[in-house]
Copies of this chain bind each other. A is one copy, B any other.
Amino acid sequence: MPGLSIFGIPGLPEITPGTDLAGAIHAAAAEAGSPLESGDILVITSKIVSKAEGRIVDLASVEVSPFARQYAERWEKEPAIVELVLSESRRVVRQVGPILITETRHGFICANAGIDQSSSGGHGLAVLLPLDPDESAMRARQALRSKGLDVAVIISDTFGRPWREAQTDIAIGIAGMQPVTSYIGQVDPHGHEFRVQALCTADEVAGAAELVKGNLSRVPCAVVRGLPWEPDDTASMQSIIRDSERDLFR
């Protein structure tokens, strides 16, 4: 039965600022007996991208504004984290009790601007989202291309969503394949246009990859193999951010 196979890439070294991330992933996959192949989609958790890019902040170095300090004290949050969330954001979407949902500098809407204190390589540190996850994905794609591989790359992160409990992994950066599969204008065998007009394949791939990565297992990369995609170096996740004029929930 043709289908997909999805597997994690274990054995990555600790990632630090300046690590050749694509090189490390390429080597770990080979070492694990599952070398990357052209046609693969490589999904990389944003946190290790951030670490490789030096997006780590020492909380002691953060200058906290009065607004952030007051809010942090009221809700027993860490003042430096609140300050970082605000400075990584361009707009507060909801601020209700201790919950702070913002629009990040990239345009993503999520809790705490995607800032992560877990597994950040030590106490007192926070990991920020990559500055430009599409560009991060493209850098990894190009590094793999220089090794003779045509691989699409997705940078994933774990976001909540309205209306439903628990979170899912979605794509925040992409290179090599378009994130959306469009059915616009196509009709079913009965002549009706499809109710579903466009599927965000990239988000589904990111979620599928999470199933093998897990958040505890320290496997921050996965490969989705067997899903056809058209090489396209104009792809971006920026393109799926809904314009605020068309958005009903901001």
Tell me whether A194 and B4 are in contact (CB under 8 A). no
| Chain B residues with CB below 8 A from A63, complex form | none
**Which residues of A (1-42) have their CB < 8 Å from a CB of B?**
1-8, 32-34
A203 touches B241 (CB 8 A): no
Q: Does A60 count as interface, using CB distance less than 8 angstroms? A: no
Interface string of A198-227 (1 = CB under 8 A from B): 111101110110111011100000101001
For A208, give its contact among B158, B170, B211 (CB under 8 Å). Answer: B211
- The answer to whether A242 and B195 have CB atoms under 8 Å apart is no
A76 on interface, CB distance cutoff 8 Å: no
A94 adjacent to B200 (CB under 8 Å)? no
Q: Report chain B residues within 8 Å CB of A207.
A: 168, 203-204, 207-208
Q: Which A33-67 residues sit within 8 Å CB-CB of chain B?
A: 33-34
Inter-chain CA distance A2–B200, complex, in Å, is 27
Contacting pair A168 B203 (CB below 8 A): yes
CB neighbours of A120 from chain B (8 A): 190, 192
Assess A33 versus B1: contact at CB under 8 Å? Given A208-B208, A215-B183.
yes
Residues of B within 8 A of A188 (CB): 118-119
Looking at the complex, which of A82-90, A128-136, A138-146, A159-167 is the stretch in contact with chain B?
A159-167
A232 near B: Cβ within 8 Å?
Answer: no
A233 at the interface (CB under 8 A from B): no
- Bound CA span A214–B250, Å: 30
Binding site for B on A (CB under 8 A): 1-8, 32-34, 94, 96, 99, 101, 108-109, 112, 116-123, 158, 161-170, 179-181, 183, 186, 188-201, 203-205, 207-208, 210-212, 214-216, 222, 224, 227, 239-242, 247-250
Nearest 5 A/B pairs, CB to CB: A3-B7, A208-B208, A162-B249, A204-B207, A166-B200
